[in-house]
Structure 1
């Protein structure tokens, strides 16, 4: 931070700032950015500071004065109003005019004569007059006359102490030798980057008739059902031609039978690659018809972006240098020892032909974005180079700023965080394995209260086609209720591997978190006309999420004391406190649990003893709480409350 040698203000510990400004923090349109910093200077002079911000498309800076907050940090806030990049910085300086006013007031209060000091004040007023409005200039000239007229001394010192003069100096600061912090950046997305509700199914399993391969036309018929449940994103596993060489059979068998459909993630065959449609699903025109029909229902189609190839993908023959070849002349298939994926070839990113490779992979995303796809669920991004993703996402955003990327990266936290910093909009999380009260609280506090909240947006999935969690392998409906409820209320974005979850299809491979008879390797037939208790609960929860903006953020959570380790209580509110919610959930799917819950009165601006109406938005019951601690009891049949809090202020 190069500054003038006479710059006395020091700016340190700026927040939010990622890796010295290397990466951008994230927001969605309409959100605020609160910036704070340590700002100091030598001596006793008055320090002033200003937060400056602007959209990258704007030429002029906008300003917000910074003020010391309760924690001793200087603080100011601005609101982002449009998509794209913003930049912000802090400017700090010694404010000589305010220093003069502060010192002169103290002398006046001490009974000292300040005739000379009044003449100094004239000099400070002279500096700001050229910037004043006509009315302000008239006031400044009037005060200058008082300061130079000894016969009106007592009137003059009243103006030295006046708020009008103080505000004038605040409005037009003289920023000699100011210190300026290097610019920092915000990337602003559309709202769905923060708040989204996902439903996943395999389009090939959408047919109404058992044993029949589903089509996009079948998917269109299911859109009203998905919309009725309140989902706004419909995610499909890959919809491209599936490789025939080394195709996997049912239950991941290494030898496929003639009628086996294979894994959709084994992409590419003689029928085409990543820019082609599996012919049994339909044509490109059929797919675009589906995309438009979904849009009419308020649903976006999310495509799977799996940058890998089946052995018979056209790329293998056309660009063999993009794959790794063994000394015996065979191509290297994907492995994660001891697991082997003979039907999938990883891309060799260290190829000398890497630039052509990168451009081709970018062209895949741009191709589908041009067709109207604005959400991509990216398969295993942590197995591809970080710099590649940073480049690809930036290039896509230049042309299609609405495009969102969900990272399906179940790996170490440092890698998941890095992907978030590099531009991934959302990420899968460890929620799938956070079961106990202390685990959930620690994880949510990490996501919502640490610096990761500035760049890592969680998307909670209770299950996926790859993960059948041990806790759900009993088929206990209460477990599904609990995991659904917490996913939908802890995180602002969540998703379900839909029919498997909704219909409690829980059979697992013994000793593994994998589905037996996995849909990844075979057609499934679902009774799409069937509605379960989970179907109704999903519908209710998604409606509540839509009408309660406190649930459309994940950074606003506060856990509440409750005297039972099987009960979890948490509070969410909007910044204006117009929508306040309390969630209480029984983590025990087998037994009734009870305990005493304390509301966060301090955050609510309330106090114990005040009558507060607690309206359960799920059951429809209402209660009046007036004690500091209040009793709750929850059974496995309905293991949660979702209260809307209403203070009775009359």
Structure 2
């Protein structure tokens, strides 16, 4: 039936010249009238949509308006030759977001929660977009991803690749801007800041007329069927391609296509030679780079929030200022605590080990009422300093430096020193109070009261936290928001660029949404880390509202299967929203694996954390193998949260972990293009104790013109040696199977030749891991 219908159209096209001319004029006039009407409809619809969008967000409105103007500009030609060969697909006006264009574009990823929350990427971080793109019948289509910055300027136009023809799935990898290591306080950061904000990606589907024609023409020439019509159609196609503005051809390229069209039209030549003119290296190359795109059908723009350097790629180092530089007074036998001034040694250690963010737990005055003693005992001794999370005393609250540590000038001096070393300061923000906090008297409505009039302390039955009053947000959330914004502004002015927020999941999501929006509106460079170990929905919601990074369940993923699944989850589409930061241990977490696997276990977890996520962190003392648990709890005994630690850092050289941390951070810096949340692939291994994965970035996104690949192989057993075969799907990583890969171990300097299947042997007393650079 379809062929018969096409034959009827062909017969109608063979009517008299005068009839053709009249029909052509009438159709052209009707098409022009229809386009004008559609243009007016598009304008009215655009005005309505823009007004609605403006009520939601001004920036989104600007983007929608610019995109709509671009879409309207892509009108069909003023006249269409209906009687000379095939009619090319036309760009259809779209007056409603639910309308399809000439080509169907659907299911664009990432596009979480129907596009209400933009995907997040770091400036210069490679990321992948996919979409379903298709047309009716057996006609061929193509797809292009168009990247525009927050001002609507086109920054990249990238051809998409069909990765699954059966599902019409197309894919492209992009990068918003170029990677930078500039810090917020450094010269030149203003230029970085101007690039931040909501960028968009538009997927343009289009009819691939050239490929569709070539498929049929090659068959017809081969079997000698309707050859002249096929070649004339191709000649007309190339000639039209040469004149198409959208193709972006230069004069030389237009000439090449015109000459190829002329050769195809030359009936004195052999049909195969004529066809060869359309399949030359030049023409096929232009099809790849500057194709003829008929019926261009743009999708609605997909938003991407482009954030500043270190929003994704970060190495954190945590220490307690009161322990840094602490010592035992030989005359009294008592501990003399460290201060902000002595904390410079912690900064220098973090710098030496290659970290770029120093995270300080709360440095505010500590309450006296119900102060906790060592190991969380209910009664504090006379010399117990209390938990820094029991915030607030008569000396002040969240806006005050604990006098035992110093004063605000000392803190500003510390941040200035950190900046001199190239380190950022992240400050803990625990939104909770001791019973002695000034807020308790000034704003009693901010706390939950029992029927007897007393304020309820924090508890998670049967656990009780008598030294902490949680905030109640029901009575005056706007007032609490305003105060928190004031306090954060104070610390930002003192040099803080990141807030690590304690237990944000115990506060309303809307509260954080308001606070983060207010802070980042004034300071878009400020980042937020969520210390949230809770249900997936809450963790995802916190990422939606602005938490740039997040603690996660990495410490409890230990088997090969658990780690493989978690790595793919962290580095998959979830990575556009939730940036998992891998910490092997924290003051709150010391797992059985770290406890039981000694030095090798610490090395294994460090390699997995540093290589498995673009963002990772170390709690100091890890270098000293501090791995004794408090009986019955997954945390350290003699926990630093409740006492001051006196450490002998000269012992760090005995274990080799500090050296390993330094090497891991060096590898990360030298291969920065590999550490995004979207380019990790788990590799097949034959031993259940050997985990292998690869990070790969194609040549066009490395900045060097060459692809980059790291292959990481880890023995998860801290006690026994294991051997395994590791399978590498060579073409997936740009490796020529005929040549194989020459790889270099970044940890030892040893070199190997790898192919599809490769033997490895790792022993915990020698090498717990290989980190292999593929040399192209």
Same fold (TM > 0.5): yes
| Structure 1 residue corresponding to 2:198, chosen from 62, 65, 85 | 85
Deviation at 1:538, TM superposition (A): 2.1
8 Å CA contact 2:707, 2:734 repeated in 1: no
- Name the structure 2 match of 1:185: 303
- Name the structure 1 match of 2:511: 388
* CA distance, structure 2, for counterparts of residue 242 and residue 258 of structure 1: 14
- Name the structure 2 match of 1:506: 627
SS at 1:531 equivalent: helix
- Name the structure 2 match of 1:466: 588
- Name the structure 1 match of 2:132: 38
SS at 2:322 equivalent: helix
List aligned pairs for 1:96-495, cutoff 5 A: 110-113=226-229, 128=244, 135=251, 162=278, 179-210=297-328, 211-351=335-475, 353-449=476-572, 451-474=573-596, 476-495=598-617
8 Å CA contact 1:247, 1:254 repeated in 2: yes
Distance 1:140 1:597, change over 3 A: closer
* CA distance, structure 2, for counterparts of residue 142 and residue 641 of structure 1: 55
8 Å CA contact 1:129, 1:137 repeated in 2: no
* CA distance, structure 2, for counterparts of residue 188 and residue 285 of structure 1: 34
* CA distance, structure 1, for counterparts of residue 379 and residue 742 of structure 2: 62
SS at 1:632 equivalent: strand
2:745 aligned with 1:616: yes
SS at 2:528 equivalent: strand
Q: Tell me which moved more, 611-620 or 290-299.
A: 611-620
SS at 2:651 equivalent: coil
8 Å CA contact 1:462, 1:495 repeated in 2: yes
* CA distance, structure 2, for counterparts of residue 618 and residue 67 of structure 1: 36
* CA distance, structure 2, for counterparts of residue 512 and residue 255 of structure 1: 19
- Name the structure 1 match of 2:678: 555
Deviation at 1:118, TM superposition (A): 9.9
Distance 1:124 1:412, change over 3 A: same
8 Å CA contact 1:196, 1:494 repeated in 2: yes
Q: Tell me which moved more, 564-573 or 342-351.
A: 564-573
* 1:100-127 deviation line (CA, Å, top 9, x unaligned): 9998999887234589979997996899
| Number of residue pairs aligned between Structure 1 and Structure 2 | 641
Q: Tell me which moved more, 3-12 or 211-220.
A: 3-12
Distance 1:67 1:2, change over 3 A: farther
* 1:67-104 deviation line (CA, Å, top 9, x unaligned): 54454323444431132220222344668899899989
- Name the structure 2 match of 1:519: 640
| Structure 2 residue corresponding to 1:586, chosen from 715, 718, 743 | 715
Question: Could you say which structure has the greater relative contact order, defined with CA pairs below 8 angstroms and 6 or more residues apart?
Answer: 1
SS at 2:501 equivalent: strand
* CA distance, structure 1, for counterparts of residue 696 and residue 231 of structure 2: 54
Deviation at 1:265, TM superposition (A): 0.8
Deviation at 1:319, TM superposition (A): 1.5
8 Å CA contact 2:199, 2:305 repeated in 1: yes
Deviation at 1:193, TM superposition (A): 1.9
SS at 1:192 equivalent: coil
* CA distance, structure 1, for counterparts of residue 737 and residue 459 of structure 2: 59
SS at 2:649 equivalent: coil
- Name the structure 2 match of 1:536: 659
Deviation at 1:280, TM superposition (A): 0.9
| Structure 1 residue corresponding to 2:117, chosen from 16, 20, 23 | 23
SS at 1:205 equivalent: coil
* CA distance, structure 1, for counterparts of residue 730 and residue 247 of structure 2: 46
Deviation at 1:551, TM superposition (A): 5.7
Deviation at 1:7, TM superposition (A): 4.1
Distance 1:519 1:556, change over 3 A: same
* CA distance, structure 2, for counterparts of residue 169 and residue 616 of structure 1: 37
- Name the structure 2 match of 1:496: 618
8 Å CA contact 1:128, 1:172 repeated in 2: no
TM-score, L = length of structure 2:
0.74
* 1:391-416 deviation line (CA, Å, top 9, x unaligned): 32232222222212111111122322
Q: Any unmatched runs of 5+ in structure 2?
A: 1-94, 178-194, 329-334, 700-705
SS at 1:560 equivalent: strand
Deviation at 1:278, TM superposition (A): 0.7
Deviation at 1:169, TM superposition (A): 13
8 Å CA contact 2:729, 2:756 repeated in 1: no
- Name the structure 1 match of 2:11: none
* 1:576-608 deviation line (CA, Å, top 9, x unaligned): 364433322222222232333334434344467
Deviation at 1:642, TM superposition (A): 2.6
Distance 1:327 1:67, change over 3 A: same
- Name the structure 1 match of 2:87: none
* CA distance, structure 1, for counterparts of residue 751 and residue 230 of structure 2: 66
Deviation at 1:231, TM superposition (A): 1.5
TM-score, L = length of structure 1:
0.87
Deviation at 1:216, TM superposition (A): 0.8
* CA distance, structure 1, for counterparts of residue 693 and residue 242 of structure 2: 56
- Name the structure 1 match of 2:764: 635
Distance 1:283 1:98, change over 3 A: same
List aligned pairs for 1:59-98, cutoff 5 A: 63-66=157-160, 68-71=162-165, 72-81=168-177, 82-92=195-205
* CA distance, structure 2, for counterparts of residue 283 and residue 584 of structure 1: 47
Deviation at 1:458, TM superposition (A): 1.7
Q: Tell me which moved more, 274-283 or 117-126.
A: 117-126
Q: Any unmatched runs of 5+ in structure 1?
A: none
Q: Tell me which moved more, 62-71 or 633-642.
A: 62-71
Deviation at 1:550, TM superposition (A): 6.3
8 Å CA contact 2:101, 2:298 repeated in 1: no
* CA distance, structure 2, for counterparts of residue 183 and residue 223 of structure 1: 44
Distance 1:25 1:259, change over 3 A: same
Distance 1:638 1:309, change over 3 A: same
Q: Tell me which moved more, 605-614 or 525-534.
A: 605-614
